[in-house]
Amino acid sequence: DIQMTQSPSAMSASVGDRVTITCRASQGISNFLAWFQQKPGKVPTRLIYATSSLQSGVPSRFSGSGSGTEFTLTISSLQPEDFATYYCLQHNSYPLTFGGGTKVEIK
Amino acid sequence: QVQLQESGPGLVKPSETLSLTCTVSGGSVSNYYWNWIRHSPGKGLEWIGYIYYSGTTNYNPSLKSRVTISVDTSKNQFSLKLNSVTAADTAVYYCARYHLVTAIDYWGQGTLVTVSS
């Protein structure tokens, strides 16, 4: 199985901050990496697919980058509605595996 | 707009079989890969497996011996059976649509299944 190590597991940030979340894969996954946002009691929603493609309707302050084994999700200017938990997903090989999540909390 | 909705018992006894159904509306199951994923505090998000409309399946090796996913194209539904459950199988279970290039794009609302006597 490909292990996805996500960091940090939690962070505190302020509105307007630039936030970067990292996922490292235990082996190369090409660009088969997606990012999801989940708010308490809600369904995960896709933000980014294919490493850097922005899901339609998602604000442009979200961006993704990376290749091979290291990937990042960046929120350029954190907004109040962005406080949530973020997960990465690799789908280069089976079983599909998720990162452990990053909880972004208000500072 | 594609919508997915899980249904099934919220409480299952240890050693019994967990059975869930996902009903797809606003689109056909006769395309894409249809997945089951679960989320528990202990294990985080865990992919259970998928079925393609043709019936081809792919399961997580960690669960493969206990899992069956099936599809009913006439009802636009697909189903999950997980047998010999234990408390470790307590989780929120999601059904989801998966595309090979763009990953998961639609999720059901999720249903909490508790394994307890």
pLDDT tens series, chain A, 107 aa: 999 999 999 999 999 999 999 999 999 999 999 999 999 999 999 999 999 999 999 999 999 999 999 999 999 999 999 999 999 999 999 999 999 999 999 88
**SS3 label, residue B83:** coil
Q: What is the pLDDT of residue A107?
A: 86
Q: What is the pLDDT of residue A63?
A: 98
Q: What is the pLDDT of residue A106?
A: 87
- Would you say A20 and A72 are in contact if contact means Cβ atoms under 8 Å apart? yes
Q: What is the pLDDT of residue A25?
A: 98
Q: What is the pLDDT of residue A95?
A: 97
Confidence of residue B41 (pLDDT cuts 50, 70, 90): confident
The answer to whether A87 contacts B60, with C-beta atoms less than 8 Å apart, is no
> Which of B92, B75, B35 is closest to A95 using CA atoms?
B35
- Rounded to 5 degrees, φ, ψ at B35 are -115, 160
Q: What are the strands, taking DSSP E only, across A1-107?
A: 4-7, 10-13, 19-25, 33-38, 45-49, 53-54, 62-67, 70-75, 85-90, 97-98, 102-106
Q: What is the pLDDT of residue B50?
A: 97
Q: What is the pLDDT of residue B58?
A: 97
Confidence of residue B30 (pLDDT cuts 50, 70, 90): confident
Q: What is the pLDDT of residue A100?
A: 97
Mean pLDDT of chain B: 96
B109 min Cα distance to partner chain A (Å): 6
CA A98 to chain centre: 10
Q: Residue B101 above 90 pLDDT?
A: no
Closest residue of chain B to A94, computed from CA coordinates: B60
- The residues pairing with B113 across neighbouring beta strands, listed in sequence order, are B91
Q: What is the pLDDT of residue B26?
A: 94
Q: What is the pLDDT of residue B24?
A: 97
Chain A contact set for B42 (CB, 8 A): none
Interface probe for B, chosen from A3, A32, A43 (most Cβ of B below 10 Å), is A43
Q: Does B100 reach chain A within 8 Å, measured CB to CB?
A: yes
Q: What is the mean pLDDT of residues B23-38?
A: 94
- Would you say B61 and B90 are in contact if contact means Cβ atoms under 8 Å apart? no
Q: What is the pLDDT of residue B31?
A: 83
The Cα B44–Cα B37 span in angstroms is: 10
